Structure formats: C-alpha cells, structure tokens
Structure 1
C-alpha cells in the first residue's frame, strides 16, 4: 500500500511564498498529475514529497506514517528527473544497478559501487533484477551502452529502469518527457500509461503540458500561484471547471471567453443578445466560456451570431476557424471536423450558434455559476 497525504503544506524561498497551504491525497496505485504553468509550485511540492525540500509548515504522510522529517533515502520513493540524471561514465546496466547496491551499504562501503558491474554471486540477484526490469522496458539490448550512446527516448527508459529496480512505494516524475520531441512525447505518454498499469504502482507526475495530464492521469491537480485550484478526474475537470483560470488552462485550443452580463430577469446576455439561459447571480458582470467544439456554423437566423473569418488552422483531422466578433479583443474559435471540408474562407462573413447546455458562466471573481436552460413553459410565462 502507498497512500500519500500532503497536509497544509507551506513553503517560502526568501520572501516568495511558493506553496500556500496545499492539501493533496493520493490513493494507492493512482496516477496523479500535478499540472500548471511554470512557477506555480508543482515541482516544489513533488520535492517536498520526495524529502528533497522541507516544508515551512505542514506534514507528509505515507500510509498514515508522518515522514516529514524522514530523509529521502528512507522514504522508499523513486524519482525520475527531467535531465535523466544518469552517470555518463557507467553503462546502462551499471546505472540501474547503482541504487540496488547503495540501498543497504554503509558510507565506507559505497566506493566500489561505481566500479565495473561484477558477476560475483553476491550481485547475481541484483543482475537478474536489472535484466527483468530491462525486459519490461524493452531496453535489454542497451544495457552495455553508455548514456551518451543513446537517444533521448532510450535515456528516458533507462532513467525509468533505474527507478523501477528498487520496487519503490511510489514513482515521482518531474517533467520527464519535456526534453523529447513532440512525436516521441506522444509515444512515451502511451508507454508510461501502460507501464503504470503493468506495475500497479502509485505514480505522481509533474508537468506543465495539459495533454500529458489529460491523457495519463487517474486524477489531476491543477495548480496556480501556489495553490491547487481543482483536483479530480481529467474528464470532470475538462467538462466542469470550477474557476475561469482552470477553464482557460485546460483544453486545446483554449476555451472561448466572451464578456457578458445578467439582466434583471436572470437571463445571460452576450454580444447584444439575450440567451434562453438563466444564471441567478448578483455579479455585476460575467464571463461566458464555451469550448470550440460546442459552437457550430449555421444559416442566418434571429438567434445566430455573426463574425468574420480571420484565420483558419488546418490540423488534418480538425479545422479551427478563428472569427473576429464585434468589439471582442480575442477571436472566437470554432472547431469542426475535416470531413465537413473548408466551408468558409478568410474574410467570409459567417453565422454560428452556441450549445447552451455546454456554456459555462463565471462571475466577476472568476468562480463558476450554476445555470440552466429555459424550458418553453418558462419562456411562455
């Protein structure tokens, strides 16, 4: 078992408050991702979990045991870094062997650890463990090479292998794929997800890439300014963000945000139109969020919105139309399937409509408001 709890974690570096009372519970065998922009505190939180940093306030519990003051080596957690951190003068086999040799040795016994990989009976179980791990990661043919002779993806597998041989309580990963090219990152995302399923271990993964968080996580924590804004399954956070900051950060292309208001009858008004959408609130102003896939082109009618096509992104499977709308500074983006073809061209005047059931309304503080669509009976009354 490896249930992990971080309770009320605070951390400052000088006068800068990096973590501001973070609580996070991670269940056994979960794949939890900490995602957020650079500087939000996610790597610091991971280092506090690993024991590489001490919190100014708060506690770290593993399986109910307080390990806040326990040194990193005694927490039985394996960390995979962005830089791989492989010893360049050792082979991959020797790199993977190192944590096994170091585990139970006293300081004066550790010097020989960095020498050649010996085949003495003492090390035979360790050699077998390295080979077994290499087979899982499909790097058996690389064991006699040195890190400088490997590609980025191969070095990443080797770094994972070095972490895996220890059979840790949990794997901690700090942006391990950020040094890889785009195609290899996509491939390694699938590899990591499959590895998590095979090992049945707890993974805690830090990234600024929302695609990694959405595709791999059991649950994800969206962090900004030293706090966790929302924590839950990726699908739930994408569909039901609690704040406008989360809504803007999660999703590609980004969610459309349109300024609006609520009239005296609690109806939502945007772009000079009153919608059949109720959002009871005392907020003096609102912002409306709607994802590009929830807008669609239509023929001109009284409820339709209009705009000019200012840019078209053709991504093969999808088309993203950027529309200039009245006085809105940011364009409105409509996502369509490539099967529909290029219906419109640059500078065309087009009409579109919104899926009211999918609209998100945020108050002037950026908090989500509860809404519901008017029924015909309501409209008649």
Structure 2
C-alpha cells in the first residue's frame, strides 16, 4: 500500500503541474486518484485493532465515506467516458471507432474491457439513468461482435492478410428507450484485397467478396424498455414467413441451462445466447425445426419480465442474419422474487415453477398457461401492473 501511495502521489503531482489550459482533460481521473489515496489511508488506520491485527467486517469499506467517494469517482469517470464515446461528428462516432480499434489491437485489454462492462451492467451501473445504461449495453455488444468478427477474419483471410478494423459507426438512435448503431468494418485493407482476390476469389463472386471484405455491415439495436412496442411487427411477419419456408437464419439460439440460480443469486446476466462462444451462431435445417423459437416469442418474454433486448443484424449477408439476446435486469429479479412470495400466500392460487428446468422462454409459456387461475391482485402484485 505504501508503494501504491507513493506512485499515486507522483501521478497527482504531475496532474497538479499540468498546463492549466488542459487540466480539465484530467479532471475525472484526478478525482479518482484522490479517492483512491483516501481509501488507502483509511484502510491503513480503520481496519486494524489495537494490536495491529486485521479487524474488518464485510461491507465496511463500501459503506464508509471513503468507499462511497471512490464509488462516485469511478461512476463519474464512466459517465465522462460514455459521453466521449457517443460524441457525434458528421453523424459518426469517431471516438468510439478509435477506441474500439485500439482495443482490437490488444486482445487481453479487450477481454478486460468486456469483463468490466459486464460487471457494470450486472451490478446496475447508472441507476435511474436508462440512456446511459442503454449506451453501455450497446457498446458491450458492439465489442462482442467486433471480437468475434476479428477472429473470423483472421481465420478466413489469406495468410497474413487480415487487417480487421472498424471503419465507421453511425449513431442512428440514442435515447432512454434504446440505442441503434450502424457499423461498417473491413477484414483487410483495399490494397491487400486487390492482391488477394485473383488467387482466392472466383470472378462471379468478386463483388460480393469485395463488399464482405471491405465493407462488412451490421446493426446493433438495444431496447431498454417497452420492448414489444419497439420491435417492428412487420419483421415478425417476415420472420415467420422465412422460418416456414426454410429460408434464412432467423431462429434464435437458446441456452439449454435453466434459470434457477436467478432467484437466490442474481449473477447471470445473459440468458438466451452463449456469449462466451460468440454471437454469430445460426441454425438451419433439422436443428432449426427442432428449436422453433420465433423473435416475437422472445420479445414478449422480455417485455413481460422487465428484460432488455439486444439485436445484432448482419446486413451484408442475404438474407440478413439476426441474433437476439435477452438481458435480465434488477426488475426481472424482483418479479421472480414477488412471484415466489405470492406462491407461499395461502389465499392465492399462484404456483411457482421449478426454474431449474426452464429458460426464460419456457417460463413465459408457463405463465401464459397458468395466469388464467390468477386474480387481478396476483397479477398486480407480481408484475407491478394490471
């Protein structure tokens, strides 16, 4: 702690000596450094007994003035970072492009960033600020898609010819209701493509390959509330038509694991898609027939259980491929807890299902099959609305 204290003192001195015309650039970091120094000083004196032995109770630091100051400093830093990432210049998010490309150059740093963003989302970062939470979640899924796109580009390109990077990010929508990003990437640079294509690309596939390698496009849409109303019903009709005609990759891959851990410990953020394995999964043929899960089913489930929904649509491919993920929220946890409480009420006909054998889609189907036995008071108590 003494070594850290000395280093932090040097950093703070350098900040204090920085040109006054630019000191505002470091303001949030200065606040964070100051809070860390106070936290270290507090830890050295506050959690030791008279004989010098450690004497600490869980939660003591988080509830202390120093702990709260550190939490607030970190929060303010994230607010400033998001504001910078979402600065629009000529309709594009140039800062986000630069930051994403920097992360792509350092896989370890990218994984650390993803883990940190996941932690913030899981732990209800930005309480009462839906717009910031939507921005944070959309950026998280953007990085997921870029990480997996880079892996595919490296694996599919000619040896040594991969130059995966983001070219443009257009901000289409940004509000407390959700965020939409249009993203354009390249798998290799144009000069390498011109040398690559005569050897590896058939003449009749040249233009399609040029688009895929130099202007690969996808859309990130994150819906933070009223999900059912925001998703275009025309897309649902188109979705059902394509599934029935055995065309396109419209089926949603759904995790087989149950959600039983959600009630006692709300530690699982992503249900519906195995994020660790990548979000580029698609099903076809017999597998698609086996897992007939339509987009509107998932959207209705998310809307009922207070979940947010993120859709990633690759628009370069024809037909479009879409992946959809449900993100449980603190409201989801509260709904399940109230459902369990109501089932223990002797005056209620509500039963609580065995969550270990269900995913959220199945839970919604269970609700639809059984809510006819519920009273209006049951419905209002569990979901907070009639």
Asked if these proteins are the same fold (TM beyond 0.5), I'd say no
The structure, 1 or 2, with the larger RCO (C-alpha pairs under 8 Å, 6+ apart) is 1
Provide the TM-score with structure 2 as the length reference.
Answer: 0.27
**Structure of higher CA gyration radius:** 1
